[in-house]
Amino acid sequence: MQIKTAEFIVSNQEVFRCPKNQIPEYAFIGRSNVGKSSLINMLTNQKSLAKTSGKPGKTQLINHFMINKEWFLVDLPGYGYARVSKSSKKTFQKFIITYFKERQQLISAFVLIDIRHKPQSIDLAFMKWLGEYEIPFSIIFTKADKLRPKTVDTHVESYKNKLLDFWEETPNYFITSSTNYIGKEVLLKYIDSINNELSIEANKLPFQ
């Protein structure tokens, strides 16, 4: 898929205020500093569509971007900052949980994981939670350029093994680097293939 247009639509802290358009939506989420803004900018060919983090945890908003006038890319707040107060963490958790539970346009989440680090309990707990609520998701490993290709493979394998401790199958995953444009085409192709399937479904006549 070529991204021809990427427009910022709206930021919200309340799920009921999010756009009402009945179009497929894909949500990007991960720990603060994981490389989410850089990834979104890389995917959309923009320099600063998503704001790269100055002060992690300052803006906790659901950001909707319209892509090719066909689907929404949703930039969700990063989780797991040390600097955020307990009460604001709670508010954050609440509105993110509401988003995932109630947003019926959501087709899939992408959970971003920094490829350099060992599996972190906060990410694993979040993925378990998504699994329990049957919210489809894939993993996006970020910053692959920071490791040698062999080490990337070893880290992915060890991550997969960790996930197999509690699931029979591992979710889909993508290896990316925003610096080197790794994974861009594969990821966009994946989203495109889901969008195509959805539009075929939507166009089916009722008697077919």
Provide the binding-site residues for ligand GDP, judged by CB under 6 A. Answer: 30, 32-38, 52-53, 78, 142-143, 145-146, 177-179
φ, ψ of residue 158 to 5 degrees: the values are -70, -30
Exposed, middle or buried: residue 39 (CB in 10 Å: 0-12, 13-18, 19+)? buried
Lookup: tokens for 18: 């999010």
Question: By C-beta, is 143 or 155 nearer to ligand GDP?
Answer: 143
Query: To the nearest whole angstrom, how small is the minimum distance from the Cβ of residue 8 to ligand GDP?
Result: 15
Question: By C-beta, is 164 or 186 nearer to ligand GDP?
Answer: 186
Closest by CA position to 72, among listed 41, 105, 94:
105
Mark out the alpha helices in the chain (DSSP H runs): 36-43, 86-102, 121-132, 149-163, 184-203
Question: By C-beta, is 175 or 195 nearer to ligand GDP?
Answer: 175
| Residue 139 near residue 111 (C-beta atoms within 8 A) | yes
The residues, any chain, with a CB within 8 Å of residue 8's CB and separated by 6 or more, are 49, 63, 64, 65
Question: By C-beta, is 48 or 87 nearer to ligand GDP?
Answer: 48
Find residue 175's DSSP bridge partners. Answer: 141
Question: By C-beta, is 11 or 179 nearer to ligand GDP?
Answer: 179
Query: To the nearest whole angstrom, how small is the minimum distance from the Cβ of residue 75 to ligand GDP?
Result: 8
Query: To the nearest whole angstrom, how small is the minimum distance from the Cβ of residue 102 to ligand GDP?
Result: 24
Query: To the nearest whole angstrom, how small is the minimum distance from the Cβ of residue 73 to ligand GDP?
Result: 13
Query: To the nearest whole angstrom, how small is the minimum distance from the Cβ of residue 97 to ligand GDP?
Result: 20
